[in-house]
Structure 1
């Protein structure tokens, strides 16, 4: 719901009723993952998507029905359904979609505000009931105090990990029972992309990073280059020696680091710090000769081979890129490939599933 939160908030301010459809489970080659959302207003406006267009028409009608009744609904769509020709997923997958009207969504305004403000919050839904879980409190009820406590514990753990999915509990919260299917959706602050080096390539990487949903920071020690005019798409601009900034800022397992400084006096101390962080991706720009020289300097600085193996350099996939924009696409493609286990090869000729996991 993160990508449509601002639109939903605008509908709330305008007093427009709506329903939100969410993918809660998928099988086989489904086009969207659990958590993908689509909303329909009472006057027929649509936000978001739950598939590649295969079932949107059916979900649209389900949302209008939910607005009318004020009740939540769950439906499964896929090629195995009797009405596969009408609403089945032509890609061969199956999705389970849950539709909730706004009147059935607990603390909705606060949830939307938390999502838009980058503050962690989770929702746990079953039937027409919903819990909302913040790190420090819980609102709503699933109808049973013991179930509420068990659901809140499950959701708090998933929120801490930033995961979304379906869990099964007993009617009174018992573990290892499946009387209640509970869909937990976690909203955590967007992952960070930190781009080092205020060059034209960095501006293009910042642009595509923001498009992909990252909170983008551009860092350079030279104030004449690190300006808002040159980097309008960056969320943050930092004028500081790159390695010192990286030592002082938060980096977690979702953080992406793109080192585009292309200068040993910046690169080597920066990469020494970067390779000690838990960042999921660390890429550095440069030719193969630059890369070899960089590795030599890092080894001389005491960086071991296991750490060096984490470095993606030269940065990006081999797309034949030339311009800053093309290079940014190549870098983004490598980041996506690393995140989801893709091969980086053309899908034509591959026999593996298109959507993994």
Structure 2
């Protein structure tokens, strides 16, 4: 639902009544992942998408019905070999969709407004809703903040809200969206959905969908060169908060990088050691100058970031590896370095090179192989990486 937060927040401000359909779990291949949403207001206006077109008509009708009867429901859509005209996903996957009305009389409307407001302001938070369990729980909503505080309720015992807040806090900290099962008493049970919090199996409890909203992941591009300008544009397209860093003030200017969120003049290794990074951060080293590269990569390879890539020829890479070993960087850390940076696309121009780097970043993030799908048996979507990260 957070993917259309801006429009939904406007609808609430305008006093509209509507229903939101949110993908809460995915099995197999599907066009969109958990959190993707489609909303329909009382006038029939629709925004968003849950499947890229396969089941949009059926989900639209479910939203319209929810606006009329005020009832939340969960529907499953899959592929039917028996009925070629059945509503389902042509890609062969299965999705579960939570359809929730947001009417003036809906108790959760206030909580949803608070959650959408937080997303619009760029504040982190997690929205918890029941997707499997007693029907009276399907309309509840709980907003959980990073400090552990929460508001709203799922409609069950207070212990359920406390346990749900704890589980949501763990997923929020990891920047993940997915499902988790809890026992009626509040104890965590096993959950089959993506992003499960794990725990001992305690049958009979509800399954919760936790939708996390976190600031966009960071991409830090070191080296204010022409290739960097193209990579900045690619990074923004992928949803990253992009910083360009270079020690040379004549090159690191806002005029040269108008699309960057930040342009920093500093020695790269010094900046990296003083700035915030996390497990989603992407570091792209384009300087290919040893006086910058070696101290920078020493620092970068010691950090638990998502990706570290360095530009340069194969000869440059060989020299770089030798110098890093001499500096005390171990083989385990060196194995994380993607150098020469990017996938083999035969790239020549800065834009083509940026595309090859962006493709490698996506493959690393989603667990892809980078090989052509044509003629291969590799899955199109990798289930192990289906939980959202931004």
TM-score when scaled to structure 2?
0.86
- Report the counterpart of residue 92 of structure 2 in structure 1: 92
1:173-203 deviation line (CA, Å, top 9, x unaligned): 2441333121111112221111111122111
Does 1:155 find its partner at 2:155? no
1:22-64 deviation line (CA, Å, top 9, x unaligned): 1111222222222222223334443332113111111122222
Does 1:70 find its partner at 2:61? no
User: RMSD across aligned C-alpha pairs, in angstroms?
Assistant: 1.9
Does 1:122 find its partner at 2:126? yes
**1:239-318 paired onto structure 2 within 5 Å:** 239-318=265-344
Give the CA deviation at 1:120. 1.7
Q: Name stretches of at least 5 consecutive residues in structure 2 with no aligned partner.
A: 131-137, 189-201, 384-390
Match of 1:145 among 124, 142, 158: 158
Give the CA deviation at 1:105. 4.0
Give the CA deviation at 1:297. 2.0
CA distance in 1, matches of 2:253, 2:62: 48
CA distance in 2, matches of 1:334, 1:222: 28
- Report the counterpart of residue 194 of structure 2 in structure 1: none
Which is worse superposed, 114-123 or 186-195? 114-123
Give the CA deviation at 1:81. 8.9
1:272-330 deviation line (CA, Å, top 9, x unaligned): 11111111110011111211221222222222222111110110000111111111111
Q: In structure 1, the residue corresponding to 2:359 is in which secondary structure?
A: helix
CA distance in 1, matches of 2:36, 2:58: 16
CA distance in 2, matches of 1:217, 1:134: 27
Q: Name the CA shift for 1:89/1:284 in 2 (closer, same or farther; >3 Å).
A: same
CA distance in 2, matches of 1:253, 1:278: 6
Alignment length, in residue pairs?
357
Q: Name stretches of at least 5 consecutive residues in structure 1 with no aligned partner.
A: none
8 Å CA contact 1:79, 1:85 repeated in 2: no
- Report the counterpart of residue 22 of structure 2 in structure 1: 22
TM-score when scaled to structure 1?
0.94
CA distance in 1, matches of 2:265, 2:2: 30
Q: In structure 1, the residue corresponding to 2:352 is in which secondary structure?
A: helix
CA distance in 2, matches of 1:142, 1:113: 20
Q: Name the CA shift for 1:228/1:69 in 2 (closer, same or farther; >3 Å).
A: farther
Q: Name the CA shift for 1:148/1:324 in 2 (closer, same or farther; >3 Å).
A: same
Give the CA deviation at 1:106. 4.4
Q: Name the CA shift for 1:266/1:92 in 2 (closer, same or farther; >3 Å).
A: same
- Report the counterpart of residue 193 of structure 2 in structure 1: none
8 Å CA contact 2:112, 2:141 repeated in 1: no
CA distance in 1, matches of 2:10, 2:256: 31
Which is worse superposed, 101-110 or 124-133? 101-110
- Report the counterpart of residue 352 of structure 1 in structure 2: 378
8 Å CA contact 1:256, 1:280 repeated in 2: yes
CA distance in 1, matches of 2:84, 2:111: 37
8 Å CA contact 2:3, 2:35 repeated in 1: no
Q: Name the CA shift for 1:238/1:40 in 2 (closer, same or farther; >3 Å).
A: farther
